Amino acid sequence: MLNQPTLVDQFGRTVDYIRLSITDRCDFRCVYCMSEDMAFLQREEVLSLEECSRLVRVFVSLGVSKVRITGGEPLVRKNALWLFEELGKLDGLKELVLTTNGSQLEKKATALKKAGVKRINISIDSLNAERFKKITRTGDLNKVLTGLQASIDEGFEAIKINTVLMRGSNDDEAADLVQFAIDQKIDISFIEEMPLGEVDHTRESSFVSNADTLKLLQDKYSLLPSTESTGGPARYWRVANSHTKIGFISPHSHNFCESCNRVRITCKGELYLCLGQEDRIDLMPLLRDNPDDDAPLIAAILDSMRIKPKGHDFDLRRAEPAVIRFMSYTGG
């Protein structure tokens, strides 16, 4: 495909990274991500795994080289491993990566590695089992840590912990979580809480700035600024004399939109051009109305670059969430 068009938006940014949610369902109910009593989509409303595979193939043909599979919790989707195996065969796909809560990794880490997954991000917001259960509402910390160890034993190219700090909940664990990452010889990223979906607390009251977290960690560790990138929005610092780097994803305190190279696809096939905006294209009808013809799908994807916004603008002082849809719906 020597003359195949690539994805460039109206601001000259090349999109080479997609995040695809394959389910809105999850076996956890994290307090910053979803409500305790969630109403999930019906089966017919969700892309089939074959449709997910077709979508990724088309995006790769348009120059996308990195695909992150998300949810909900992607590994609770029946036959999810089939999709990883299919994607792992795609020429042109350089990075197949996964974001997970870790609950299924003890059983599935080996198969994921064999399928071609190179990197795994695991959400761990506390190292205290009781506090972890309170934050996730249903999660078992020991099960997640066992899954993390199984992944380490498999030798993935990189493993990273993702942590959302919340004031009065787990903000006193930043240093402990970094030390845990250092001890495990893995990486960690701190993600500022995003105002997506209606939850049972005010985002402003729980918000912890990454700038404050960085200052706290600099008092304890020797941190070296790094220009390293994994293709996403994180800004990294290296911990001196260790194998660990610390990432900060700061949609509030540092808007990272100027270099945005990614789009998101929900499990309903909605192509969101920005996490913090409602601009989207519905791809599911194009998939189902044209089962043997990718041309309409390709045309819609190329055309979507015209409506990719310059950026988002989260405001914690607003009483209502910036975006009504839950993070689990759009993809973590």
pLDDT in tens, 165-209: 999 999 999 999 999 999 999 999 999 986 654 545 454 677 899
CB 202 within 8 A of CB 173: no
Q: Are 254 and 305 in contact (CB under 8 A)?
A: no
C-alpha torsion sign, points 107, 17, 20, 33: positive
Contact 64, 303 (CB under 8 A): no
pTM equals 0.89
HSE-CB of 215 using CA atoms within 13 angstroms: 5
Burial of 98 (0-12, 13-18, 19+ CB in 10 A): buried
Task: Tell which wins on pLDDT, 274 or 324.
Answer: 274
Domains within the chain, CATH numbers bracketed: 17-330 (3.20.20.70)
Q: Residue 255's pLDDT is what? A: 56
Tell me the helices (H) and strands (E) count for the chain, helix number first: 11, 12
Distance, in Å, from the CA atom of 324 to the CA atom of 227, rounded to the nearest integer, reads: 34
Q: Which two tokens stand for residue 332?
A: 């973590």
Quote the mean pLDDT of the chain.
89
**31-40, 110-119, 138-147: lowest mean pLDDT where?**
31-40
pLDDT of residue 227: 85
Q: Is 186 strand, coil or helix?
A: coil
